[in-house]
A and B are shown apart, each in its own frame.
Chain A
């Protein structure tokens, strides 16, 4: 049973459309992250949050924006989708204490959203 949920799983959308990728977790984790990943490539951190009303840009510049109004919810929005936004977007969360959960050691990933902009 997943503790972090991403919707939709797949999305094909036309250029210029506004989209929101949803991410919700039920673990009460303070920290949440968005990663962008092209096929067969590494994961790049594009946004992270350390708690409600806290958002920061990650190491890879992105035209997307995020919000954190509730602890459990961390949506990502693209105001005007372009073909260059085609990628997989993975959401993750983490909480203290690290190193004590033998199944994940603190980090849980969603199943990802595969976005295709045509």
Chain B
């Protein structure tokens, strides 16, 4: 069965430093997509970054980058130069064949001033 695992329930980072949020996945599909979302306390899901399984280069979007290691089935999110507004829940998700998104358990990131 497809599965997403986030093993860090909570993370702390100092403002302006970089932080890595871990995500591993399990799938037997050859074609899949990996997503990271940010969820502030208001509850909405904010799309951050996407990596397709056939993409050879790691995805980057501004301060966000995705460290994609296909053989290890990991898709870690790297946030550079953390800001106080980055404090939120972060979810890794995978698109299954057929289109459903499955989510990991989430990581609560706290940025310290």
Interface: B25 (CB within 8 A): no
User: How long is the Cα–Cα vector from A107 to B103 in the complex, in angstroms?
Assistant: 13
Interface: A12 (CB within 8 A): no
Interface: B99 (CB within 8 A): yes
User: How long is the Cα–Cα vector from A54 to B101 in the complex, in angstroms?
Assistant: 18
User: How long is the Cα–Cα vector from A35 to B91 in the complex, in angstroms?
Assistant: 14
Chain B residue, CB-CB nearest to A109: B45
Q: Report the minimal beta-carbon distance from A29 to chain B, rounded to whole angstroms.
A: 10
Contacts A31-B99, A33-B101; is A112 near B89 (CB within 8 Å)?
A: no
B residues near A (Cβ < 8 Å) are 33, 35, 42-45, 47, 50, 52, 89, 91, 95, 98-106, 108
A residues near B (Cβ < 8 Å) are 31, 33, 35, 40-45, 48, 50, 58-59, 88, 90, 92, 94, 98-99, 103-107, 109, 111-112, 114
